[in-house]
Amino acid sequence: MASDKKATDIVLLRTAEVTTMADYFVICTGRSDRQVQALAGALVDELRKEGVRPLGIEGRTGARWILLDYGSVIVHVFAPEERDYYGLERLWSNAAQVVRIV
């Protein structure tokens, strides 16, 4: 889904062994605020069609880092600068990287 909307550097981390927060983190990047917003919206829409609704959504107003909380899966949609600044892959470096699509 994210790659269909031209998300870049998509990473799936298995976090179940290192935190109780979620089993997986999906991290991806949009090129602009507008694309970050579109990526998050498309993910929510597609999952909703499958009957999956987010428990929470944070960051839509600023559209620089949008977090979609699906319980066992948390999706992070970043603008490039915020992704570099927060460095979630470095922060969660103990989590197994399952997939990376550049």
Structure tokens given for 42: 């498309």
Amino acid at 32: S
Q: What does the pLDDT read at residue 63?
A: 86
Task: Domain of residue 39: give its range.
Answer: 3-101
C-beta neighbour count of 87 within 10 angstroms: 11
Please compute Rg for the chain using Cα positions. Answer: 13
Domain count, the chain: 1
pLDDT of 58 strictly over 80: yes
Q: What does the pLDDT read at residue 22?
A: 96
Q: What does the pLDDT read at residue 71?
A: 96
Rounded Cα distance between 37 and 33, Å, is 6
CATH of the domain at 49: 3.30.460.10
**Residue 30: closest CA among 9, 52, 50:** 9
